[in-house]
Amino acid sequence: MSADFKPVMHPAGFDEALARILGEVRTGHYFSMAELLAAPGQDKQLRCSRTALLAQVAAGSNAVDQWVVERPRDPIAITMAARVAVERACRAAANNAPQAQSLGHRAAELCAEAASLTPGDPVPYIGRLALATGFDERIDGPASCPVPGPWHAFRDLWRVDPANREGCHRMLSAVGNGAAPSPADAQLFAASIVGSVGLSSLSPLQLLPLYALVVAYEYRKAQRDTLAHLMWSTDAARAEMARGWSWFTNSSKEDWLVVDLSHLAHALVAGGRSDLAADVFHALGPYGATKPWASVSSTGDAVEEFVRARSTALSAARRRDSQGRPRGAP
């Protein structure tokens, strides 16, 4: 591989169809967005990931507002209006803007309207969860995970779409990165999800504990813990590497997101199995994600950290193969 390799760190990742239309959405045009979201063959995860990124981009333009004006009975338009309203309300809350509460109320109304128009669609319920997280609504968790968080909204989402990837990641962030950050709560939540009855071994949520480890690392790094990097060498971390590796080797490209593969690749490199990480980097192709590389870098340079880890992994795999050693599991 070329020494000057530089990853494509685009938020759309592998979704080239989505990447192609973001510029149009950013400039206030909705036609391609409407066409993409109406296309057949989209499962719930793809629909959630697409609407999430589209809302982040559209929140800064009038694309969705114009869509609703021109097609007021289009349920997809209403769903996207809810997504955008949630995004704007949460940004306002994060900035302590005076209009945050009114924006939050309007977003909640749109989520309710979207839910009534598209029963079974998890997106409006993700919107409610995002609002609960953004406005720091917390209640005590269940006996299986007794940590405070927006459990009321999470339960509503779970009833509609159990083990929804975006929902679980939003919950992980809510319990681990609230006003009083608690990496232990994040790790407990992740453990409760992977231990939940009926979770498929092919679910990308099998990687959730790796994300929780990054939350814990970020916390320890912020505390200036010079031994924080050693957490990747613990038995618990190795067990999660093995879980992630099993998911990767048994899943297919349709199940992969760039950010998930990035977390797995990092864990394997940090945990001493760089040779296996090479397979994950090959699966990533030209793509990379900002997380977790920016978090674990001493300089915050995600690209530099990604390239360094990738080079280490490819070299380790070449050495293993030249010596005739078996690949083995973590």
153 lies in the same domain as 60:
yes
Give the single-character DSSP code of 139.
B
Report residue 55 as tokens: 């809302």
190 lies in the same domain as 242:
no
Picking from 130, 165, 195, the residue at the C-terminal end of a domain is 195
pLDDT of residue 79: 98
Total domain count, the chain = 2
Dist. CA 93–CA 104, nearest whole Å: 8
Q: Kindly give the interhelix angle for 302-322 and 274-284, rounded to the nearest 10 degrees.
A: 120
pLDDT tens for 182-218 read 899 999 999 999 999 889 999 999 999 999 999 999 9
218 lies in the same domain as 190:
no
Q: What is the domain range of residue 137?
A: 14-195
Residue 288 — very low, low, confident or very high, per pLDDT cuts 50/70/90? very high
Residues forming beta bridges with residue 161, ordered by sequence position: none
125 lies in the same domain as 183:
yes
Dist. CA 294–CA 301, nearest whole Å: 5
Contact (Cβ atoms closer than 8 angstroms) between residue 140 and residue 146: yes
pTM listed for this prediction: 0.95
35 lies in the same domain as 160:
yes
130 lies in the same domain as 24:
yes
pLDDT tens for 230-244 read 999 999 999 999 999
33 lies in the same domain as 152:
yes
36 lies in the same domain as 182:
yes
Residues 6+ apart with CB under 8 A from 226: none
Kindly state whether residue 218 falls inside one of the protein's structural domains: yes
Average pLDDT over residues 259-270: 98
Distances (CA, A) of 310 to 6, 241, 266: 10, 17, 9
Kindly state whether residue 313 falls inside one of the protein's structural domains: yes
69 lies in the same domain as 116:
yes
Picking from 195, 225, 251, the residue at the C-terminal end of a domain is 195
- How many of the other CB atoms lie within 10 Å of CB of 109? 12
